Amino acid sequence: MKKKIAVYKLTFFIVLLVALVTALYLGAYDFNHSVFEIVSTYFKTKTHTADSFVLIELRIPRILMAILTGAALSITGTSLQGLFKNPLASPDLIGITSGAVLFAALTIVFGSAVMHLLPPFLSYTLLSIMAFLGALLTMWFVYKMATSNGKTHILILLLSGVAISALSGAVTGFLTYISTEEELRNLTFWSLGSLAGSNWWKVCLVFVVVSIGSFRLLKKGKTLNALMLGEKEAAHLGFDIEKTKREIIIISSLMVGCVVAFNGTIGFIGLVVPYILRFVFNSNYNILLPLSMILGAVILLIADTISRTIVIPAELPIGILTAIMGAPVFISILINYKRKLK
């Protein structure tokens, strides 16, 4: 079993590397030199050519952002599913993504005066803190709504998600309508997501949040497994369940909030990736958590590469691609449910 996991990890890593190299070369702009040459000339001359600008300021940050975003959305999806003991509990379906979008949009519109004065790193930090707060608030609301006596009702969970998404969609739409802000002008950015705005500042911030968050979540495998036995049983195995819940909720909100603030809503990744992995590894979270990170990175990187190359010189919003993958999975989970109800 251990060997098998190692093989999967290695395979996923290799696919990630291949996807990464391919993504470097694909795009609306074709390089005149090899990637390695472009980078080395840039570091010698310290001045940008057209090649090096596209590569270093646009394409590489975007690729890194895709990897980080995919990893973050997948590992939070897996953790939330473990926490709520339900394969439908992904950040977008239960509404925390929408909560983050709402707060991010509000911050951009009403905080624009302040944000222009701040250096980019700080203004991005402010934006992600606000998105984090939005995610946390919705998460708290949804959790309180859906949980009674330690049991989470998945129907209420999903419906709260629908309610929050509707509210967030309306407010974001309205803000987009009245706003003159450049970052808000494009509604599809918020509803279907895009990695086009990536830059090094954002990548650094997301990197810090995602690595700290994932580091904590990766340790939760045993606890999430034990939770399948029930909360009391897990406590008898020595796990502090309340602490775990708080930790997962806060970390997931932080990661989702940060990612959403810069990339908009990229749906279904947190649903699809664990779902695929469960076919092979059942629900062993010790395995699901690390593998979902890598697979999430691979899938989102491929999706983003397709989204920016399929209709050159335009771009297809990435959310369309993830939804195409996600909707069938969503439906098949529902069919599974129906079977169990019989």
Partner 1 sequence: MIQIHDLNFRVKDRFLLKTIDIEIKKGELIAIVGPNGAGKSTFLSCLGSEIPYQAKQFSFKNKDIKSYKKDEIPLHRAKFSQHQSAEINLKNDEIVLMGRYPYFKNDADISDKEIVQNWMQKTETQHLIDREYEQLSGGEKQRLHLARVFTQLENTIENKLLLLDEPLNNLDVAHQFKTLHLIKEFTNKNNTALVVLHDLNIASQFADRLILLNKGTIELFDEPQKVLTQERISRVYQYPCILHQHPVTNQPIILFG
Interface residue list for partner 1 (CB under 8 A): 2, 221-222, 225-226, 228-230, 232-233, 235-240, 278, 282-284, 286
Question: CA-CA distance, 192 to 202, in Å (whole number)?
Answer: 19
- Shortest Cβ distance from residue 3 to partner 1 (Å)? 12
Residue with smaller CB distance to partner 1, 138 or 214: 214
**3-state DSSP percent of the chain in helix, strand and coil, to 5:** 80, 0, 20
Helix residue ranges per DSSP H, 200-317: 200-217, 221-227, 231-236, 241-263, 269-281, 285-309
- Shortest Cβ distance from residue 237 to partner 1 (Å)? 5
Residue with smaller CB distance to partner 1, 81 or 123: 81
- Shortest Cβ distance from residue 74 to partner 1 (Å)? 18
Residue 77 in tokens: 């999806």
Question: CA-CA distance, 337 to 309, in Å (whole number)?
Answer: 37
Is the Cα dihedral 249, 255, 260, 261 positive or negative? Answer: positive
Residue with smaller CB distance to partner 1, 37 or 240: 240
Q: Are 132 and 257 in contact (CB under 8 A)?
A: yes
Q: How far is CA 60 from the centre of its chain?
A: 18
Residue 296 in tokens: 């999430």
196 closest CA partner among 110, 304, 88, 116: 304
Residue with smaller CB distance to partner 1, 124 or 275: 275
- Shortest Cβ distance from residue 17 to partner 1 (Å)? 25
Backbone region of residue 67 per phi and psi (left: phi > 0; alpha: psi in -120 to 50; beta: other values): alpha
- Shortest Cβ distance from residue 73 to partner 1 (Å)? 22
Residue with smaller CB distance to partner 1, 24 or 235: 235
Residue with smaller CB distance to partner 1, 203 or 217: 217
- Shortest Cβ distance from residue 340 to partner 1 (Å)? 8
